[in-house]
Amino acid sequence: MVNRINHVAILVKDLESALSFWRDALGLPVERTEENPGENVNIAFLPVGESEIELLEPIELDSTLGKHLAKRGAGIHHVCVEVDDIDATIERLKAHGVTLINDEPKVREEGTRYAFIHPRSALGVLVELYELPSA
């Protein structure tokens, strides 16, 4: 079952100028920021109700995200939906002929399991699946 939109990720050239819109002009709170050199990205997390806006700023321009920014410019990068059971969701998607970027879920530090659906199977949208660690 798909529960909610966990986050919408937006690719930005630089966090500070993005925050002048999202935080200062629109008025969203910044819950935290994270520097993630391993994934070549700095992230600002801005809660909106039960969901979040995540602003992604590539660190290295020759990274996957950096190249995406150079090629397509800033804008919505992906939408993340939260599911109860990521394995069952992946099985279901495959049964519908959907291509995933990673067939096996990856695991974040805090235990969240995630996978990406290829945009060519989702009408041009990069979709991320999240299964949160059970509380």
What residue ranges bind Zn ion (CB under 5 A)?
Answer: 9, 80, 128
Q: Least Å distance between CB 128 and Zn ion? A: 5
Virtual torsion, Cα 9, 75, 32, 108, nearest 10 deg: 30
Q: Least Å distance between CB 56 and Zn ion? A: 8
Please say which residue, 28 or 79, places its beta carbon nearer to Zn ion: 79
Q: Is 33 left (phi over 0), alpha (psi -120 to 50) or beta?
A: beta
Q: Least Å distance between CB 55 and Zn ion? A: 11
Please say which residue, 9 or 15, places its beta carbon nearer to Zn ion: 9
Please say which residue, 11 or 95, places its beta carbon nearer to Zn ion: 11
Please say which residue, 57 or 128, places its beta carbon nearer to Zn ion: 128
The neighbour count for residue 63, using CB atoms within 10 Å, is 14
Contacts 24+ apart (CB under 8 A), 92-101: 93/117, 93/121, 97/121, 98/122
Q: Least Å distance between CB 130 and Zn ion? A: 8
